[in-house]
Each structure stands twice: as structure tokens, then as C-alpha cells.
Structure 1
Amino acid sequence: MDVTLNYGKQGYTLSLPDDLNVTVIRKQTMPVLDDPATVLGNALKSPASCPPLRETAKGRKSACILICDITRPVPNGMILPVVIRELLEAGLAAEDITVLVATGLHRPNEGEELRELVGSDWVLDTVRVENHFARRDEDHVLLGTSSQGTAIKVDKRFVQADLKIVTGLVEPHFMAGYSGGRKVILPGIAHHDTITRFHTATYLEHCKAVNCVMEGNPLHKDQMDGVGMIGEVWAVNTVLDEHRRVSFINFGPLEKSHLEAVAFTRPYSEIKLSRRYKTVITSSAGYPLDSTYYQTVKGMVGAMDALEEGGKLFIVSACTQGMGSPEYVDAQKRLVALGTDGFLNDIMPKQRAAIDEWQTEMQLKPMRRGVICLYTDGLTNEQKALTGVETTTDLDASLAQWLAACGDKDVVVIPEGPYVVPMKD
């Protein structure tokens, strides 16, 4: 049986022996919008729960539109021209419209990468497109303190804009429950201090800081507290199918429209399982998410509930851009040196996390469940040693060896990686 896993831009075809009992976990067939730009235009003109965008924008002096960074396959080239033209028709001047890339603590997207991200030369030529820099103190304003004690500092370009719009992709998220909506603001355009506070082990070891859970999730709570301090925010939310085609799009007040998008995607993204398996094979969703090992951790965490205690999770990830940030590499070095328990004990007392060490912490979760084996052709041997997991240059051979050792022919395959979350009933 051949199964193509999402890997880089081309995919990775895995040939599984015919004597295996293979369960392939995919989304059910999703509806696909024939003309998403037209659907978006109609949503902006006749939204279900608020006035039309053009009416809302009239008389506003400035607008700021947030977009996710390059790690998310949001169809910005479709969304931004439609939204910006509505703002221009409402009377806003092009020079008063800013598109702000919500980088969080990731690197900025510039040059050809920015062009790919925005997806429209017309947008780049018409309005300002800028990156968020979380470590620039002067770019942020303090809005207040959350109910959990987090100082909420947010990019002032968004806070001070007369009209605030976020765009994004709604999908399972391994810390915040679901991506999109409030997450594009916090951590998307938050200050370094804010991000490192609610990415501490105190938050991430909470039982509700997991995929597909928002109620009771401490990250979600801080995010919504912060959004409440900002005031009126509008959102364009999208949901994509397995082939990155737009299945759903809406517009409205941030919280309400985001929850509508979450409700739409839940039946497709959350797959119920009656049992766990000794062998799970997954991906890191392919390009652009699997460009670094840092993002690969999402695929490990996304699949872990399908894995039996002591089982083995195989994951493919292209890692064409290497490990990730220098700070993340430092965290991985500490993981290798201290081990899983030692690393967690080291970070638990912290009031603010070191940059990107939270991804290393999230990797501990599937490592506590079983063994992880990574296939990639994007890392050097030195980098592979920093992953903290097994690596292989021959996935077929490693899989065959494991299956012979465990004596179990039942295998689960999750081609789309973290965009589909198996859940044990």
C-alpha cells in the first residue's frame, strides 16, 4: 500500500507491506469554495453578525491588517486585495493602510519571501507592508495585566489604528487549542515579555494547554484577556482542506467569527479513535510548516494521542531551513545534555521562558509517551544529534525493523500531520 505523506513541496511516498493492517487518518471530504474571493467579498458586504466592512470603515483615519508569518499557508493573495479594496472604497487613503506581519518571536519575512507571503504585487505596491519585531520596546504599548498576571504589551501600530482587522487560518494548535483569531494578536504582535510569560512551563504543562481545547486553556485565557483590552477587532477566518483549498471563509467580530470557524473545522480536524497503536506514522504537514525542525514538533504532538505507551512515532519533515533559531538550538542542546526530566525540572520555576525553549518543552510530551524517529534530508548529522530523537536515512528499513520487533501489524498513518488530530475516546 502506498501512502503519500506531506513532505516539503513534493511529498514523500511511503510503501507499506500488504500484510499490515493500515488505518489512514484523514479529514473527511470537505466542501471546497469554487470562488473564495467572491465568497469573501459577499461576507464583507453582508456579514451575519455585524455591519458591512465598508460601512464600518467609513470615517476611519487608519487601518491595520494582521497577517500570519510564512509558517502558515494562509491564502493572503486572495484575502488582502479584496479587503483592501473595500477599505479604499470606504474612503481610506492607501497610505493610511498597513499590513503587519504577525511574526511573534520568529524572524521577519523579507524580500522574495515577503512577496510569496503577501501573494499580491498589487498589495505590496499599494499599501505599507511591515514586520512585527517583538524585541523592539519602542514598538509596543502596555495595555494592562491579564487575570493570570501577564503584562499585555502589543504592537502600537495595531493598537493605535482606527480600524483593526486580523486574518488567519483556523486549524488545531498544540498549545492554544486552535490557531487564528486572538492568536494572531497574542503572540503574533506581542512584546517579548508577554510572549515569554505565557509560554512558560507553568502554562504549557497545564492539562488544557493542548490541541483542540480552548475552554480552560490558560493560553487562550490570556489571549482573550488581551483582546478585551484592545477593544473592537474584526477578523477574516479561513479553513483549508487537505489540498490547501479554501473550504470556509467568514468575516465578523473577532471572537464570534473565530468560534464559528472553529465550529466548522472541528468535525473534520478531530478524529476519534477507539484505541491507541504501537506504530504511528505522521508528517509535519509539508511546506511551509516543515521548513524547520522547530515546527516539526507540532507534528509529533499532534499525533501523540494515537500512540500507545512505549510505542514508536515515525515522522517525516523536510527541514529545508535547518533547526530554527539560535535560541531554539540552545534549548535543544540543553535537552540533550539534561534529558527530558532534567530539562523540565530546569524550566519549571521560570517566570519567563527563554526564547523558543517552549518548543523543546512541547517535544517532551510525545517523548514521554514513546520513541520518536525522524526522517529528514534537510539536517546535517550535527543537527540531527540536537533533535533529541532517533533519526533515520531509510524510513522503510527503520519501519520494517520496528514492526518485526514489536510484533504488531496494526499501523496508523496521518499524512497531513498536525492539521488532523487523532483523539482516543
Structure 2
Amino acid sequence: MELPLGDGTVRFELPDCEVDVARAPGAEAVDPRSAATAAIAAPHGPALDSLVDAGDSVAIVVTDVTRATPDGVLVDCLLSDLTAAGVSREEVTVVVGLGLHRPMTDAELRGMLGEHADLAVNHDPEDTVVAGYVDGTPVELNRRVHEADRVLSTGMVEPHQYAGFSGGAKTVAIGAGGEPLIRYTHGPEMLAREGVRLGRVDANPFRDAVDRAGDVVGLEFCLNVTYGPQGCLGAAAGEPRAVVADLAETAREALSVPVEDDYDAVVAGVGAPKDANLYQTTRAFTYVVLGAHDPLGEGGRVVVPAALPEGPGEGTGERRFYRYLSEADSAEALYEEMREGYEPGAQRAFVVARALRERSLYITSSHAAEVVEDCLMHHRDRVEDAVEPGSRVLVVPEALHTLLV
């Protein structure tokens, strides 16, 4: 069998195991540029050219290197319509929504945005202003975004552990925001609420808080896509809530796979860009264990091939994630400790600890074995070394683009 690993693949054989494969049905892939152009022409809500005036300054908040969003294409499509509406290119700033992730390098910006890389700046969570409040929590916003006459965003609507599906207002409110909203939305109280779960948008308190923060920061128009194993499955533009609802339905139909119970192991594929660091890679683990349907039996394990060239990760959130896990004596002790609160960005350690209480995580094929072993996880050189002979195994080739139901 073959799974993603970095920009390539890894092959493995499990001849002594009973193996099933959970492959999302997908849908017919579409050309991202054509889909984005059509979405802008038929938006949810007011058209873009009715929201901007000639001479307006515009901030476009885009996703960062941890998302496989075709931001260069989406920005180009937005700029085309802005130019037609009388907004000059010189009045546009592209802000990379990092949240608490590391800044993107100049080379990465050129690779992502192409000819529009000169418009880009990395978000600085220390250079923000308070735009308003959500549930008494200050909504801090990147200063350049706050000072712009109009705010737009790109995004990827894909399964998300807390928001149900990412995209919409999240790109701006979290990506170009400050620590207070991240602390509130990613804190243990919020993450324990009913409805905060993978694949759920309606009646999801996390999603609702982020959407209301989007209202506070003035996001009226976004351009999002959704992806599956076949590629881009669709695009939608306009009012952020409607965009997320539209593409979440598309994604849900394409990515849901009914599965059985009592597997001994799940082998989950990730690949670039998510397997660049351990922080992002562990999404595959928690998506399996804490998703709509955990297919593992008692004592089950998740095995994830991951390159990990950045080790635990280089951003503020990734460093906090590593510190909590590497200093913990056990998953149970860490979970109980973090239930009392933690720093913004460390929420992934909390969720991983929650899952590790009953499940094991094995990372294989990586460049960071010591980092993995430091974090209450196990490292093996090969997938075959992480699966016990005679196991009943479920292989999920695209774990971050598959909803197990």
C-alpha cells in the first residue's frame, strides 16, 4: 500500500493483517480558477463590486503554509474584480493569517502568491487593535486589516476539530487576530461544550463565536474552496456563513465514509503541508479518535507516517504544544492539568492528551524521532514496525479529508 509522506509517498505491506481501506468517495474535481471566477460572479449575498468603492483600501487575509489553499489563484481572481471596480492594486494589502503559527518566508510567499507576493505581509499578533468584543472577549485585529476600508478573505473549508469545518470568518478572526479570542475559543471550557466537534457547523458554539467575531472585524465577503482526494471540489464566495454552509455540504457528501468498529489499528495518511511538523500531524490522530465515529477497539492505536522536517513546529502555538506534552508525566495527568486552563496555541496539546488517555499514537518515517518520543507518543522507522502482526487494520489514505461515520 502507499500513503502520502511529505511531497512524496511511503510504501508498506501488512501481509499478516486483515486490512480494510476507508477511501472517501470524493467528487469530480474542478479547476480552481474557473470555480473561483464563477463563485465571485454568483455570490451568496451582495456582489463584490457593490461592497467596494473606487479608491478604497482593501485588506485580503489569506491562509498560511499550513493550509493547501490555492491562495495565489484566489487572490488573483479577487484582484481582477477589485480592479474592475476601481480599486487600484496599490491600495491592496495581502495579510497572511498566521494565528500563532510561524511567519512565512519570502520564498514561501512567492511560491504561494506568485506575482502578488509583493503585496503580502505576515500577520504580527503583537501589532493589533481591539475591533470589538464577543461574549466579553476582546477581538483583536491586525492593524493593517483594521485600518483598511474593506476586508476580504480566502479560505479552505475542510474538516476542523473545533469549528466543524474551517474557512469563512476563521481566516480573519483567528488568523489575523490576537491571543484573547484564541484563548477564549480554544480554551478548555469552549472545547468541552456540546456541539464543538469535527464536521459540525450548525449549533456549534466555536463556529458561532468565530462567525460573530467575523461580524465584529467587518468581514463581508470571502472566497473559499473545498478539497478532496481528487482535488478542488468547489468554490463559493460572498457572505461568510453562507459560504461555509455551502462548501461544508459539498465536503460532507464527498468525504464521509461509513466504517465498522473494533479495529486494532488505523493507519492514517497526511502528507504535505500538514506533516511538516508534529503539531499539524496530530490532527490525523484526533480526527480519527475524536471524530464522529471512532473505529478503534479497546487498546487501539493510530499510526501516522509523517516527515516532520520542522520537528514539533516553529510557531508560538507549536512551541507551547511541545512544551506541555514533553514536560508531562502522562496523558491523564496532562489532561487534568490543562482542564484548568492553558496558554493560547496549546489547545492541540489538550486535545491530543484527551485522545492519548485511551489510544496510542505511533509516528513513522520521520526526521524527528526524539521529538515524537518526548511527547507521550511512539516512533517507529516503518509502518510495518508500528502494527502488530495479526491486527485488524483500517487504512485511511487521506485522513484529513475523510470523515469516518
| TM-score calculated relative to the size of structure 2 | 0.92
Q: CA deviation at 1:48?
A: 4.6
Partner of 1:360: 349
Q: Which amino acid aligns with 1:416?
A: E
SS of residue in 2 equivalent to 1:6: strand
CA RMSD of aligned residues (A): 2.1
What is the correspondence of 1:70-89 to structure 2 with a 5 Å cutoff?
Answer: 70-89=65-84
Gap regions ≥5 residues in structure 2: none
Q: 1:64 & 1:143 partners in 2: Cα distance?
A: 18
Aligned to 1:286: 271
Instruction: Work out the CA distance in 1 between the residues paired with 2:120 and 2:334.
Output: 39
2:51 is equivalent to residue 65 of structure 1 = no
Q: 387-396 or 99-108: which moved more?
A: 387-396
The match for 2:35 is 39
Matched residue pairs, number?
399
Equivalent residue in structure 2 for 1:30, among 3, 27, 31? 27
Question: Are 1:422 and 2:404 counterparts?
Answer: yes
When residues 70 and 232 of structure 1 are mapped into structure 2, their CA distance, relative to the original with a 3 A threshold, is closer
Q: Is residue 387 of structure 1 aligned with residue 379 of structure 2?
A: no
What is the CA–CA distance in structure 1 between the aligned matches of 2:165 and 2:25, rounded to whole Å? 19
Query: Shift of residue 129 of structure 1?
Result: 1.1
Could you tell me how far apart the structure 2 residues matched to 1:354 and 1:29 are? 37
SS class of match (2:330): helix
Q: Distance in 2 between matches of 1:63 and 1:115?
A: 20
Partner of 1:269: 255
Contact 1:6 1:417 in 2 (8 A): no
Q: 1:16 to 1:107 in 2, by over 3 A?
A: same
Aligned to 1:106: 101
Change (3 A) 1:197 1:16: same
**In structure 2, which of residues 318, 331, 336 is the aligned counterpart of residue 340 of structure 1?**
331
**Alpha-carbon distance in structure 2 between the residues aligned to 1:56 and 1:333:** 45
Q: Shift of the alpha carbon at 1:330? A: 5.2
Fraction of identical pairs, as percent: 22
- What residue is the counterpart of 1:297 in the other structure? 282
Maintained 8 Å contact 1:166/1:233: no
Structure 1 gap ranges (5+)? none
Assess if the C-alpha contact under 8 Å between 2:228 and 2:255 holds in 1. no
Relative distance call for 1:12 and 1:417 in structure 2 (3 A) is same
- Give the letter for the 2:348 counterpart: Q
Which letter does structure 2 place at the counterpart of 1:277? Y
Letter in 1 for 2:376: G
Deviation at 1:93, TM superposition (A): 1.6
- Which among 283, 307, 312 is matched to residue 323 of structure 1? 312
Aligned residue among 157, 160, 166 for 1:170: 157
| Residues 293, 322 of structure 1: 8 Å contact kept | yes
Q: Indicate if the aligned counterparts of 1:60 and 1:162 stay in contact, CA closer than 8 A.
A: no
Choose the corresponding residue for 1:132, options 94, 107, 123. Answer: 123
The separation in 2 between residues aligned to 1:51 and 1:332, in whole angstroms, is: 44
Offset from partner CA, 1:344-373 (integer Å, 9 cap, x none):
2222223xx324321111112321232221
Q: Is the 8 A contact 2:57 2:150 kept in 1?
A: yes
User: Structure 1 residues 272 and 380, CA, compared in 2 at 3 Å: closer, same or farther?
Assistant: closer
1:213 aligns to 2:195 (yes or no):
no
- Secondary structure of 2:357's aligned partner: helix
Q: Secondary structure at the match of 2:34?
A: helix
Deviation at 1:162, TM superposition (A): 2.2
Structure 1: distance between partners of 2:320 and 2:170: 26
AA aligned opposite 2:251: T
